[in-house]
DNA sequence: CCGTCCAATGAGGAGATCTTATGGGCGATT
DNA sequence: AATCGCCCATAAGATCTCCTCATTGGACGG
């Protein structure tokens, strides 16, 4: 990705506006201000003239801008050279636990596929323990899971953040909003089976908020799709990954419910066998995935 | 300074060794390992082959190395263009409190002078309050102080870290080393006058460690040079900036004493009038100073 | 086979950077 | 002329990155 600070400057200069640049870079406007300020302090001179209608380059800024373009171009060349090695091909076997396999990875796989059409992709899904096992046995070079997972011979690395969102059906009576954790615990829940990453994350968050209390499980189902349907039918509430209910939230068949004081975030991890980070196709895929996740932070849809 | 991560890679590649690169960059060896690892993960491939006797570039690493050289050269061009604007000239008036004015700034002023011979430099020294006053009245565009300092209309910015070191004369009986804070408090001290940045820093550190107790002042003197002389003569101990006793420590006329549990670090600040950071000659000087400080972190001599 | 050198790993902490919330200034609008 | 709106600066707080210290693991050379 190269030199972030320089990229920020470049975009601000090109757009002639701090806030437009912030939007384009998926940053807040103050963050952009700070980056520019740091750059100006590094060089000891004003690079941009702030006006009421945006920003214009100073003479020094003009000089920097010209060089910045050249540098950023070189970074692009690097990406082109390093990320498109001589026609990657072969088979890439991956393993992922349910939410990742169903909602996050498919889009990424599609993008990867279109960039390297010669690679045959195979995605297995299983629970966290299975995925870890497969990776440790080297059945797959790379695995993705939704919960903490430590096994000897296994390297675990944080990949992204996922946000769980509590949803209700349209007709499910909304108490006063926002809910307290207490309200929440008094309502019937639809849940996945114990051991599912989503369920464990919810229970961990509840333990942290109100030790010793567990939610009332009105119904237990084996897949997120089934859970969503049950919630749509008004059986109860559920906590699911924001990724899995994007469409339903847009359609309005499910409604997000805010529960105060409940930190429903969890980490997503990537697994690979102990030793150096995977290279070859697997390495390329991981790098591709990381770039996709970074780009996707735009959507503010978790991550 | 450009893209630090790329520079680290470049040096490792050129040196063929993580640890030699670490030494050259004034970093620890693990820090270099982590930078390289991050780069390798970003591109999804191994860039360096680790051997028992160092590291060699892989094919991908070679490609990156070539581009890295070009990019780093462009950064140098930027510095050359932006940091040498059309023959800076005129007068630069600065103000600094005692330790800075006596021990840190002179070398930096000399360097700046030789880079911009046309600039006439004037350095005033005074205590923290005076310096702040001068800056606020715009008598100088830039001031440097050794202690916290908040005044309306004044912008304060952390500049560097300074380490105070406790010293004793050769013949001063050393108790068992290392000292405890209690031992330390029972010994006679040579000190600057109250209000001096050094003294305030020492007293603040003691307050933090042993509330309510103050050191025994055997002698109070008006300058650091006088303090040093008194300590050399065995009057007592003193806490002084490491910068001010570099020579004496090397000569062995003063000896550093470790006092356990006493955090004798303080921050150095730069002051300028509220508003945009100073530009022109003052801005250039500040940028020059920051680069000098960064480079000097090599000496491990505080900063 | 052991000593030595080099890089990797883990724990802990300091610093950098982002976010939200808020203020101030200039132009445009009425 | 006063007000509204847009844009950038600042402040406070939280997070996360990155560095250092200490230690482990591996390979080469004696």
Checking if the pLDDT of B53 tops 90, the result is: no
Higher pLDDT, A2 or A269: A269
Taking contacts as CB-CB distances below 8 angstroms, the residues of chain A near B33 are none
B278/chain A closest Cα distance in angstroms: 8
Checking if the pLDDT of B184 tops 90, the result is: no
The token pair that represents A212 in the structure block: 């010793």
Residue range B38-65: mean pLDDT, rounded: 92
Give the per-residue pLDDT at B302: 36
Checking if the pLDDT of B22 tops 50, the result is: yes
Q: For chain B, what is the total number of helices (H) and then of strands (E)?
A: 12, 11
Contact call for B44 and A77, based on CB within 8 A = no
Checking if the pLDDT of B223 tops 70, the result is: yes
**Preceding omega of B178 cis (within 30 degrees of 0):** yes
Higher pLDDT, A68 or B154: A68
Checking if the pLDDT of B238 tops 90, the result is: yes
Indicate the pLDDT class of residue B177, thresholds 50, 70 and 90. low
Nucleic strand D contacts from chain A, 21-50, CB < 7 Å: 29-30, 33-34, 36-37, 50
Which stretch, A4-8, A197-201, B149-153, has highest mean pLDDT? A4-8
The C-alpha atoms of residue A99 and residue A240 are separated, in whole angstroms, by: 9
List the single residue in B41, B78, B276 with the smallest CB-CB distance to A46.
Answer: B276
Checking if the pLDDT of A298 tops 60, the result is: no
Residues with CB under 7 A from strand C: A 4-5, 26-31, 34-35, 38, 51-53, 155, 274-275; B 17-20, 29-30, 33-34, 36-37, 50, 52-55, 158, 161
Residue range B193-213: mean pLDDT, rounded: 83
Residue range A87-93: mean pLDDT, rounded: 83
Checking if the pLDDT of A175 tops 70, the result is: no
Q: Is residue A83 within 8 Å of A1, Cβ to Cβ?
A: no
Lowest-confidence region among A175-184, A196-205, B4-13, B286-295: A175-184
Higher pLDDT, B210 or B72: B72
Nucleic strand D contacts from chain B, 238-297, CB < 7 Å: 274-276
Residue range A106-110: mean pLDDT, rounded: 90
Residue range B198-223: mean pLDDT, rounded: 84
On strand C, nucleotides with any atom < 7 Å from a protein CB are: 5-11, 15-21, 25-27
Give the per-residue pLDDT at A247: 87
The C-alpha atoms of residue A199 and residue B65 are separated, in whole angstroms, by: 47
Contact call for A42 and B83, based on CB within 8 A = no
Indicate the pLDDT class of residue A176, thresholds 50, 70 and 90. low
Residue range B109-132: mean pLDDT, rounded: 90
Separation of B30 CA and D23 C1' (Å): 12
Q: Is residue A19 within 8 Å of A29, Cβ to Cβ?
A: yes
The C-alpha atoms of residue A21 and residue B162 are separated, in whole angstroms, by: 38
Nearest CA among B52, B55, B63, B51 for reference residue B35: B55
Which stretch, A14-28, A201-215, B95-109, has highest mean pLDDT? A14-28
Indicate the pLDDT class of residue A181, thresholds 50, 70 and 90. confident
Residue nearest to nucleotide C14 (CA to C1'): B161
Nearest CA among A27, A146, B149, A294 for reference residue A9: A27
Give the per-residue pLDDT at A178: 65
The whole-angstrom distance between residue A45's C-alpha and the CA centroid of its chain comes to 38
Checking if the pLDDT of A214 tops 70, the result is: yes
A61/chain B closest Cα distance in angstroms: 9
Checking if the pLDDT of A30 tops 90, the result is: yes
pLDDT digits (tens, 9 = 90+) for B282-294: 999 999 999 888 8
CA of B276: nucleotide with nearest C1': D9
Burial of B270 (0-12, 13-18, 19+ CB in 10 A): buried
Strand partners, A197: none
The C-alpha atoms of residue A91 and residue A281 are separated, in whole angstroms, by: 8
pLDDT digits (tens, 9 = 90+) for B55-81: 999 999 999 999 999 999 999 999 888
Nearest CA among B90, B83, B120 for reference residue B290: B83
Separation of B53 CA and C1 C1' (Å): 20
pLDDT digits (tens, 9 = 90+) for A124-173: 998 888 898 899 888 999 999 988 787 777 888 888 888 888 999 888 76
Instruction: Provide the 10 A C-beta neighbour count for residue A31.
Output: 14
Contact call for A44 and B284, based on CB within 8 A = yes
The token pair that represents A180 in the structure block: 């307290």
Give the per-residue pLDDT at B204: 83
Chain B residues whose C-beta sits inside 8 Å of any chain A C-beta: 1-3, 6, 37, 40-46, 60, 63-64, 67, 70-71, 74-75, 77-78, 81-83, 85, 276-277, 279-280, 283-288, 290
Indicate the pLDDT class of residue A294, thresholds 50, 70 and 90. confident
A181/chain B closest Cα distance in angstroms: 40
Mutual orientation of helices A18-25 and A4-15 as an angle, nearest 10°? 130
CB pairs under 8 A between A and B: 97
Contact call for A74 and B71, based on CB within 8 A = yes
In percent, how much of chain B has pLDDT > 90?
Answer: 45
What mean pLDDT is reported for chain A?
Answer: 87
On strand D, nucleotides with any atom < 7 Å from a protein CB are: 5-12, 16, 18-22, 26-29
Burial of A236 (0-12, 13-18, 19+ CB in 10 A): buried
Nearest CA among A233, A104, A94, A258 for reference residue A174: A258
Q: Is residue B120 within 8 Å of A80, Cβ to Cβ?
A: no
Give the per-residue pLDDT at B299: 45
Strand partners, A158: A269
Indicate the pLDDT class of residue B21, thresholds 50, 70 and 90. very high
Give the per-residue pLDDT at B297: 59
Buried b or exposed e, range A274-299, using 16+ CB within 10 angstroms = eeebbbebbbbbbbbbbbbbeebeee
pLDDT digits (tens, 9 = 90+) for B128-159: 888 998 998 889 999 999 887 878 778 888 89
Give the per-residue pLDDT at A297: 58
Indicate the pLDDT class of residue B85, thresholds 50, 70 and 90. low
Q: What is the dihedral of CA A245, A247, A251, A252, to 10 degrees?
A: 10
Q: Is residue B46 within 8 Å of B53, Cβ to Cβ?
A: no
Give the per-residue pLDDT at A303: 32
Residue range B189-216: mean pLDDT, rounded: 84
The C-alpha atoms of residue B166 and residue A98 are separated, in whole angstroms, by: 61
Q: Which helix (H) or strand (E) holds A209?
A: helix A197-209
Supply the pTM of this predicted model.
0.88
Higher pLDDT, B179 or A273: A273
The token pair that represents A265 in the structure block: 């975030």
Checking if the pLDDT of B8 tops 70, the result is: yes
Taking contacts as CB-CB distances below 8 angstroms, the residues of chain A near B65 are none
Mutual orientation of helices B59-83 and B280-296 as an angle, nearest 10°? 140
Instruction: Say which residue the tokens 């892989």 belong to.
Output: B58
What mean pLDDT is reported for chain B?
Answer: 87
Separation of A275 CA and C3 C1' (Å): 25
Residue range A67-83: mean pLDDT, rounded: 91
Residue range A87-102: mean pLDDT, rounded: 88
């Amino acid at each position: 990705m190269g030199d972030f600070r320089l990229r920020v400057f470049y975009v601000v200069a090109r757009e002639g506006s701090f806030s437009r640049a912030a939007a384009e870079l998926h940053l807040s406007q103050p963050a952009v201000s700070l980056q520019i300020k740091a750059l100006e302090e590094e060089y000891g001179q004003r690079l941009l003239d702030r006006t009421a209608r945006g920003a214009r380059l100073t003479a020094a800024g003009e000089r920097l801008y010209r060089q910045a373009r050249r540098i950023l171009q070189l970074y692009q060349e690097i990406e082109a050279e390093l990320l498109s090695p001589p026609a990657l091909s072969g088979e890439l076997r991956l393993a992922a636990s349910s939410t990742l396999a169903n909602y996050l990875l498919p889009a990424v796989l599609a993008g990867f596929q279109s960039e390297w059409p010669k690679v045959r992709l195979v995605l297995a899904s299983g629970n966290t323990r299975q995925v870890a096992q497969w990776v440790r046995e080297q059945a797959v070079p790379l695995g993705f899971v939704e919960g903490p997972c430590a096994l000897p011979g296994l390297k675990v690395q944080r990949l992204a953040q996922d946000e769980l969102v509590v949803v209700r059906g349209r007709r499910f009576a909304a108490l006063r909003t926002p809910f307290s954790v207490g309200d929440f615990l008094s309502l019937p829940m639809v849940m996945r089976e114990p051991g599912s990453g989503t369920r464990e994350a919810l229970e961990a968050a509840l333990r942290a908020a109100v030790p010793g209390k567990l939610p009332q499980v009105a119904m237990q189902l084996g897949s997120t799709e089934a859970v969503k349907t049950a919630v749509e039918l008004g059986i109860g509430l559920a906590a699911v990954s924001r990724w899995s209910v994007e469409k339903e939230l847009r359609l309005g068949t499910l409604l997000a419910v805010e529960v105060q004081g409940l930190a429903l975030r969890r980490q997503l991890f990537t697994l690979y066998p102990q030793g150096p980070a995977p290279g070859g196709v697997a390495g390329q895929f991981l790098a591709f995935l990381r770039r996709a996740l970074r780009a996707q932070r735009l959507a503010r849809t978790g991550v």
